[in-house]
Structure 1
Amino acid sequence: MNIKSFVLVSVAALALANCSTPQKTVAQPEKFQLRTFQDSISYAMGISSGENLREMPGGIFNLAVFEKGLKESFKDSLAIELDEAASRKLFQKLNDTMQKIEKIKREEQIAATRAEGTAFLEENAKKPGVVTTESGLQYEVLREGNGEKPGPGDRVKVNYEGKLLDGTVFDSSYKRGEPLVFGVSQVINGWTEGLQLMSIGSKYRFYIPQDLAYGERGAGKDIKPYATLIFDVELLEVLK
C-alpha cells in the first residue's frame, strides 16, 4: 500500500470511529441575566463600587480580602472585629496615603505638561512664518487684513478655534455658529497681545505659552494647569 492509500484508509477509519463513538454533551453554563429589580440594583452597585476601588493604586487594595469582609459582614459573623476607633485610623491612613499619591501624580503631570509646552514652542519657533514676540507669544499670519487694529480699550468681534497641543478642540465659535464679542483687555494675556497685532479681516494662529494663557489654574476639564494652547483667531470687527 502506497502512502496516499494509507492516508485515505486512515482518514476513513477515523471518521467511522468518530461516528460510532457516542459524543458527550457538555452542559453550557447559563448566561448571566438580570431578572429582577434586586438583581439590577445589586449589579449596578457592584459596578459602581468596583470602578471606585479600581482607581486605588496597586498595593493598597486586596480584592480577595475585601470579598471576605463583605461576605462576613452580610452574615454578621466577622473573623476579626474592628472597633470604630481602629476603623477610623485605618481610613485616615488611607486618606493620607491617597492624598500623597495624588499630589505626586499631579506634580508629575504638571512637569510633563510644562516640558511638553516648552519643547513644542522651541521647535515651533524654527518654522518658517512663525514669529516670536518679546513676551514669548508666537503667531503665524494665515490671512492678512487691511482694516484698523484694535487697542487695549476696544471691544472686538472674532471667530476662533482653540486647540491643545494634541489637536483636541476645546472651544470653537465656528462650531457654535456665533462670533464672540469681548474687550481686548478682558481675555488671557496671549490674546490681548495678539489681537493688537491684527488688522480687521486678518486671521492669525496664536501659539500661547502657559504663562500667557491660564497658567497654574488651567481652565475647564480640558485645559490642564500650565498648558500651552493654540488658537486660530479671525478678527471680524473692532467696536469702539
Structure 2
Amino acid sequence: MQKQIIRNLLLALLFFFGKSSLKAQITQFPFEFNGKHLYIKVQANQSDSLHFIFDTGATGASIDSAVAEKTGISKENRKIVLIAGSGGVKNYTMALHQNLNVRGAVIKNVDLSLVNFSSLSTDIGVKLDGILGYELLNQYVTKLDFDRKIISLYNQITAVDTSGYTAIPFEFSKNILIPRFPVSITLANGETFTGKVMFDTGNTFSLIVSTPFSKYHDFDSKLGKTGYTVGRGMNSFTKDQLAVINSMSFDGFKFGQMSIRLTVNDQAVPKDGYLGILGIEVIKRFNVILDYKHQKIYLKPNQAYSTAFNMEELKVSLSAKESKEFLEKNKTRPGIKVTSSGLQYKILKQGDGPKSTMTERVSLQYTAKLVNGQKLWSTYDNNKPWVHRLDKTLEGVREAVLMMPAGSKWILYIPSSLAFGDAGDGDIPPGAAIIFEVEVLKSAI
C-alpha cells in the first residue's frame, strides 16, 4: 500500500512538472532565414499572418502603412512622433495600444510606427509587412536555433536548457534598448582595440565601426583607405568605408580575418567606449538565447561557426600615395625602428639563435598584407614554411632576416622600393607598401 502511494505521488509530481515545463515554453515556430534577415509570421490585432523581420536592433515595432490600412489598424488612437534614424530625424505616425500575436505569444498594448516599406521591400527582394524586436524580447526569453531554423519563446530562463552555452552579461544604454557588450578587434598592423557593440540581428554585415570610435583611435591611418560603399538606413542611404581586420574576439570566441564597415560622418566628435554594431554575419554562427530580464545573452557555436567570412564585397582601392602616408605615420609609432634603406620594423619576439647569411637556406613562416589589411599570402594557411636562400625573396625581407637571430618574430613595413616597385605585380598595386609578419624558424638548413 505504501509503495502504491509513493508511486502515485511520483506520477503526480512528474505530471505537474511536465505541465509546468510545457507552460514555461509558450510557443515554438520556424523562421525563414535568407542569410541576411530573419522572417517570422505575426498577426496584428485580428489580421491574417504578416511577414515581419525579427530584429534585436529594433527598439520599437513598426508596420507597413499600406498594410495597416488594409488590416484596419485603429485610426482613432494615433499620434505623430519624431524618430531618429541613420539618415536623421523624421516624423512617423504611431498607432497606439495595438495587439500582436506571434504564433500564440500575445503582446498587448504595442505602439506601432506606420512606415512605408515599399522601397526597403524592393531592396531586399521580399514583401515586408513589419519589423518586431524589443517588444517580443522584453516579454519572453527567446531562443534562436539557426541549425534548425526554429524560434522558441519561454516565460523564464529556468525553463531553457542552457547547457553548452556561454552566458554573456549585457547592458542597455540610457536611451537605446539594444544589448551591448565588449568585443576586441585586431587591425592589420597588430594593434588591438576594445569597445562595446550592439547585438543587432537586423544588421546584415559582420561589424560596423562607429565614426567617433574610429576617429578617437585614428583608424584612418592604421587601416589605410580601402574603399567605399553605400549602406541603407531606415530613412536614407549612408556612405560607409570598407576595411579588413585581422581578428575579432569576445568571451572566449575568436574569429579571423573579416571585412568590416566604418560609418563616415565628418561632423562626429571622437569618442572612446562605443565601438559599433555586431551584425548577422557574426550572430548567425551561434545558436542564441536572449534573456532581457536578467540582461544576458547565451551563445553556442553552431554548424556555421567555422565558415570563412565572405570577403567578395570588399573592393580595395589603394594608391601609392596612401602607402607613403601610412609609412610616414607608422614610423612615429612606439617600437618602430627605421633603417637607412627606409625599411621599418617592430620586434615582437627576439630570438637567441644564430643569424642567417646570404649563402644559406632559411626557414620562415610569414603573412603578407597590404597596408589596408588585404591579405596577400601566408605560409600559416597550410603550415608549410618557406625554405629558400635569401636571394630568392624581396629585398626588404632579405634585409630584415639578415638582422634576425633564429627564433625571432618581427613585423616588417616594407616600402615599394624594397618590394615590387612602381610597377606592382598581380594583386599588388603600383607603389604599394607591404606588411610582413616574419618568424625565423632556423638560420640554416
TM-score, scaled to structure 1: 0.52
Name the counterpart of 2:422.
Answer: 216
Any idea what SS the aligned residue of 2:368 has? strand
Does residue 238 of structure 1 match 2:443?
yes
Q: What is the Cα deviation at residue 137 of structure 1?
A: 0.2
> Percentage identity across aligned positions?
38
Name the counterpart of 1:152.
Answer: 358
Which ranges of structure 1 fall in alignment gaps of 5 or more residues?
Answer: 1-6, 8-109
Bigger relative contact order, structure 1 or 2 (CA pairs below 8 A, ≥6 apart): 1
CA distance in 2, matches of 1:133, 1:184: 18
CA distance in 1, matches of 2:352, 2:434: 27
Moved more, 126-135 or 148-157: 148-157
Q: Deviations over 1:99-154 (max 9, x none)?
A: xxxxxxxxxxx9x6221111111100101110000000000001110000111222
Name the counterpart of 2:380.
Answer: 174
Contact 2:424–2:430 under 8 Å retained in 1: yes
* Equivalent of residue 201 in structure 1, options 407, 429, 433: 407
Any idea what SS the aligned residue of 2:399 has? helix
Q: What is the Cα deviation at residue 216 of structure 1?
A: 2.3
Q: What is the Cα deviation at residue 217 of structure 1?
A: 2.8
Q: Deviations over 1:50-99 (max 9, x none)?
A: xxxxxxxxxxxxxxxxxxxxxxxxxxxxxxxxxxxxxxxxxxxxxxxxxx
Does residue 228 of structure 1 match 2:433?
yes
Tell me how many residue pairs correspond in the alignment: 132
More helix by share: 1
User: Which protein has the larger Cα radius of gyration, Structure 1 or Structure 2?
Assistant: 1
TM-score, scaled to structure 2: 0.29
CA distance in 1, matches of 2:390, 2:401: 7
Once the two structures are superposed, the pairs formed by residues 1-240 of structure 1 within 5 Å of their partners are 113-220=319-426, 222-239=427-444
CA distance in 2, matches of 1:122, 1:210: 13
CA distance in 2, matches of 1:171, 1:118: 22
CA distance in 1, matches of 2:320, 2:423: 13
Any idea what SS the aligned residue of 1:217 has? coil
**TM-align CA RMSD:** 2.1
CA distance in 2, matches of 1:115, 1:132: 19
CA distance in 1, matches of 2:423, 2:401: 23
- Structure 1 residue ranges, 4+ long, deviating more than 6 angstroms after superposition: none
More strand by share: 2
CA distance in 1, matches of 2:415, 2:432: 7
CA distance in 2, matches of 1:210, 1:134: 15
Q: What is the Cα deviation at residue 219 of structure 1?
A: 2.2
Contact 2:368–2:436 under 8 Å retained in 1: yes
